[in-house]
Chains A and B, each alone.
Chain A
Amino acid sequence: MAKILVLGAGISGHTAAAFLKKKLGKHHQVTVVSPSEYYQWIPSNIWVGIGKMTIDQVRFKLKPVYDRWKIEFKQAKATAIFPEGNSESSRPFVTIEYTDQARRGETENVDYDYLVNATGPKLNFEATKGLGPGKFTHSVCSCDHAVATWEALKVCFDRMGKGEKLKFLIGTGHPGATCQGAAFEYALNVAYQIKAYGLQDYAEITWISNEYELGDFGMGGAFIKRGGYVTPTKVFSESIFAEYGIKWIKRAGVTLIEEGVAHYETLDGEMKTEAFDFAMLIPAFAGVGLKAFNKAGEDISAQLFAPSGFMKVDADYSAKAFEDWSVEDWPSTYQNPSYSNIFAPGIAFAPPHQISKPMKSPNGTLITPAPPRTGMPSGVIGKIVALNIVELIQSGKPAIKHKASMGKMGAACVVSAGYGMIKGNAATMTVFPIVPDWQKYPQWGRDLDYTVGEAGLAGHWIKIFLHYMFLHKAKGYPFWWLLPE
């Protein structure tokens, strides 16, 4: 019997665990370790943050699902990996610390034959002083954050209803932050709701971003066919912001937040400030801080993890000039090069480099989005990692058959821009591939037939459809495995 340990129950880890158990059956043991008792469908947090969905519409408890699937669940956080075991045991294991009420603080060593590190990102609010919930800005990065953000937004609506003019600042809260898409759709939804309440004369909404141009989204932007032209997503994004009455500040790295004031540095090296009454700013991401030790107990974290804390996989991490970057640098199996029984799908793997061109201010501050880590690639990668582990176990051969590179797969980002089955709106954006392939598509970097940007009600329907479809799949309801990642 093989033991497979999955760290994390987000989109990637949960998908991997589901397929591992389905394919391996009762003869092998699948264990999931996650610090939260809930699965959450993160793309819908935006709607929690504007009061259109409740927290329980975007999350569910994991244990009943795992009990039904016969997957062992431990509500705990992983703290250290011992891929060679230790002086007492030659079996590899992970040290975990329980987070549930009953066993909080207790530790345990959980051994494994295969390890799936799908721990996702640490929301690194600490990287920007004053940033984040409990300090001076809000977040929609988790459903708990989104609930608190909606409470704060309601207060703003009340104040504007009494005639007060307020300033909203939405965007990225660190010079190297990613996930511009989430902030982008939150800005549009806030603007939509403000207009729906007739309060637009009392609100000034400003987008602040580390992007070189709007529409970069951490993937160097994209080109799309639109109105008889091939245009950059810069035009598409600016057009939507102009339509929704949102101003923007670009090429800005937020470095400090004080009460009601964001301090930022521009690519030109200027230090500026922007006042706000309400701010929702996305933090930088980092690895969750796992440590690794060899059999002798020596710290080998630098061998397993990149300096960012994300795990090294089958990528080309050698330093190269931007012009030499290739889609071949990107990983396709997510297997750790040092320990072949460890995989890191989803957000937990270390990208070989950025996708957007690195830009530094004259002061040396890197003001460039990190690569985006959306749900669709995370689910696909989680699935292929599971299928590869299944084949490794069943065939006993070391060949890795299933591959999924961000340089060869596409992604869809449906940016909600207003809620409602008749009056809703969303910008549907797809890119293929995610990482531009300038060798295969020398003119535009991507396939223009599958790289689109389109606003309309259909986008809202797609986002609603995806919400219910993926929750159906994640809950393991009938025929869940037929639904594509």
Chain B
Amino acid sequence: MAKNIVRGYYDESYPPLPTKSTTFWRRNLLWQAWRFVVLNLKIMRIIVGGHS
């Protein structure tokens, strides 16, 4: 019988991992196009608002 591969007891065992749904939306072109716009607007805001 194959030995159990236990998930735990290492640092890398504990962080949250993306679900299938999360990875799907990360690659979904329509959703990512929207996020592209939103993130660019946020970046623009912090650039323009950060100096006088």
Contacts and interface: CB of A to CB of B under 8 A. Distances in A.
Interface in A390-434: 401-404, 408-412, 422-423, 425, 428, 430, 432-433
Interface in B13-52: 13-18, 25-27, 29, 32-33, 35-36, 39-40, 42-52
A242 B47 contact: no
A242 B51 contact: no
Contacts of A380: 47, 50-51
Q: What secondary structure prevails in chain A residues at the interface with B?
A: mixed
A202 interface: no
A454 interface: yes
Interface string A269-280: 000000000000
A242 B12 contact: yes
Nearest to B37: A458
B17 A242 contact: yes
B27 A423 contact: yes
Given A384-B51, A433-B50, A458 B35 contact: yes
Contacts of B43: 412, 430, 462
Contact of B15 (A241, A376, A384, A433): A241
| Interface size band for B | 20 to 34
Interface in A450-467: 450, 452, 454-459, 461-462, 465
B18 A243 contact: yes
Nearest to B36: A458
A247 B12 contact: yes
A235 B16 CA distance: 8
A428 B39 contact: yes
A484 interface: yes
A376 B47 contact: yes
A485 interface: yes
Contact of B40 (A238, A243, A422, A462): A462
Given A380-B50, A454-B35, A454-B39, A425 B16 contact: no
A248 B16 contact: no
Contact of A242 (B15, B42, B49): B15
Nearest to B34: A458
Nearest to B50: A409
Given A456-B25, A457-B29, A458-B33, A410 B50 contact: yes
Interface of B: 10-18, 25-27, 29, 32-33, 35-36, 39-40, 42-52
Given A402-B52, A404-B51, A454-B35, 10 more contacts: A384-B51, A402-B51, A409-B49, A410-B47, A422-B27, A452-B42, A456-B32, A457-B26, A457-B27, A458-B33
Interface of A: 227, 235, 238-239, 241-243, 245-248, 376, 380, 383-384, 401-404, 408-412, 422-423, 425, 428, 430, 432-433, 450, 452, 454-459, 461-462, 465, 484-485
Closest 5 CB pairs of A and B: A409-B50, A410-B46, A404-B51, A238-B15, A458-B35
